[in-house]
């Protein structure tokens, strides 16, 4: 469960009050991977993906991010828990 994932990205579909992430799972990748793979590549595929190293937090991203109001919220199979 991700009840301990705190996030300040309030423009994300999965964000909720108290700065909590309500996605049932997320995946964090390096920026290069995030920029070069489509939305459907996400946490559901984590076991099949190779690690993507980063040197600083600036090189990492939450790939599960979807903008609020987007029509792409179902593209990756991730569910909002509430």
Judged by the rule CB under 6 A, the positions of this chain that interact with ligand SF4 are 5, 7, 9, 12, 14-15, 21, 23, 26, 62, 64-65
| Shortest reach from residue 17's CB to ligand SF4, in Å | 12
| Shortest reach from residue 55's CB to ligand SF4, in Å | 21
Q: Is 5 exposed, middle or buried (0-12, 13-18, 19+ CB in 10 A)?
A: middle
Rounded distance between C-alpha atoms, residue 79 and residue 24, angstroms: 6
> Nearer Cβ to ligand SF4, position 8 or 47?
8
Q: Are 30 and 53 within 8 A, CB to CB?
A: yes
């Amino acid at each position: 469960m991700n009840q301990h994932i705190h996030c300040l990205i309030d423009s994300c579909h999965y964000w909720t009050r108290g700065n909590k992430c309500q996605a049932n799972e997320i995946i964090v990748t390096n920026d290069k991977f995030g920029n070069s793979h489509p939305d459907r590549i996400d946490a559901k595929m984590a076991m099949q993906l190779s690690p993507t190293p980063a040197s600083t937090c600036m090189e990492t991203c939450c790939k599960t991010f979807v903008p609020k109001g987007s029509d792409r919220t179902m593209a990756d199979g991730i569910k909002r828990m509430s």
